[in-house]
Amino acid sequence: MSTDQFSVDGDVAIVTGSSSGIGKSIAERFAADGVDVVVCSREQDNVDPVAEGINEGDSPGEALAVECDVTDRDAVEALVEATVETFGGLDVLVNNAGASFMADFDDISPNGWKTIMDINVNGTYHCTHAAAEYLKDGGGSVINLASVAGQRGSPLMSPYGAAKAAVINLTTTLSYEWADDDVRVNCIAPGFVATPGVESQMGVSADTIDREEVARRIGTVEEIADVTQFLASPASSYVVGETITVQGVPQIEEDHDV
């Protein structure tokens, strides 16, 4: 059986928010398959080790580390320019950079609300808008990272849920507008994933998760990278404008006899 259709070898990709967690795993997966990948975060010192790990390893793809705040349009345009100057083009954009905090809606300040919207929604806009010319040059793929919180809401995370709902809607709309430009736009809505942030806050480690177990409610960053590679590859050529929920066992209300 051929698996060539699942390969993204030879592509060039930007993965935002890739200093750790899901973004780092996606960047490493791409590089392992031969993708030249640009990794970025707000702090150069946080993203340099990711690029070094890729470049000093056995991955056929190369990595470039760029400091970029996705809410800063000038910084985003510099990110795209550095990508094209270094690797000659851009085929895949993964809008992974995001942020959230937990608080009652009544306790959220205007600045707190604006900050979450700015990073999750405006950051996705800036990166996608700035990269449009290059993504349309020969066809490309945009993969947005949303959340199940954006699909069904999430208590104590109202700005994050609202922001991710906007990303999901933008995915649908932009996929329609850009289809004639040979650019596929899709979205991933992860559920509970064992990232370093989750481990520090909740004590759940990826090392304790059995990936073979179907009946589970927490996943690994590698499993999100699996879906991302699929959406970037020719294997998903007929998948356009979709939001793929990756959450393990769905939460279902069960009726119990009293």
Write the single-letter amino acid at 201: Q
Model confidence at 258: pLDDT above 70: no
Model confidence at 180: pLDDT above 60: yes
Average pLDDT (149-173) is: 97
Model confidence at 203: pLDDT above 70: no
**What pLDDT is attached to residue 204?**
67
**What pLDDT is attached to residue 212?**
81
Q: pLDDT by residue (tens digit) across 82-114? A: 999 999 999 999 999 999 999 999 999 999 999
**What pLDDT is attached to residue 245?**
97
Model confidence at 216: pLDDT above 90: no
> Residue 213: left (phi > 0), alpha (psi -120 to 50), or beta?
beta
Q: How far is CA 21 from the centre of its chain?
A: 10
The beta-carbon contacts of 155-161 under 8 Å, at least 24 apart in sequence, are: 156/102, 156/103, 156/104, 157/100, 157/101, 157/102, 158/105, 158/108, 159/100, 159/108, 159/112, 159/113, 159/116, 159/117, 160/98, 160/99, 160/100, 160/101, 160/116, 160/120
241, 175 Cβ separation under 8 angstroms: yes
List residues with catalytic annotation: 160
Q: Where are the alpha helices (DSSP H) in 10-157?
A: 21-32, 44-55, 73-87, 110-117, 123-135, 149-152
**What pLDDT is attached to residue 1?**
58
**What pLDDT is attached to residue 196?**
72
Q: State the average pLDDT for the chain.
A: 93
**What pLDDT is attached to residue 208?**
73
Q: How far is CA 135 from the centre of its chain?
A: 17
Domains of the chain by range and CATH? 4-246 (3.40.50.720)
Q: Where are the alpha helices (DSSP H) in the chain?
A: 21-32, 44-55, 73-87, 110-117, 123-135, 149-152, 158-178, 196-202, 221-232
**pLDDT bucket at 199, cuts 50 / 70 / 90:** low
C-alpha to C-alpha distance for 138 and 127, rounded to whole angstroms = 18
Average pLDDT (140-155) is: 96
- Radius of gyration in angstroms for the set of CA atoms belonging to the chain, rounded to a whole number: 18
**What pLDDT is attached to residue 186?**
98
C-alpha to C-alpha distance for 224 and 231, rounded to whole angstroms = 11
21, 39 Cβ separation under 8 angstroms: no
**What pLDDT is attached to residue 227?**
98
Model confidence at 189: pLDDT above 80: yes
Q: pLDDT by residue (tens digit) across 27-86? A: 999 999 999 999 999 999 999 999 999 999 999 999 999 999 999 999 999 999 999 999
Average pLDDT (1-19) is: 93
Model confidence at 234: pLDDT above 90: yes
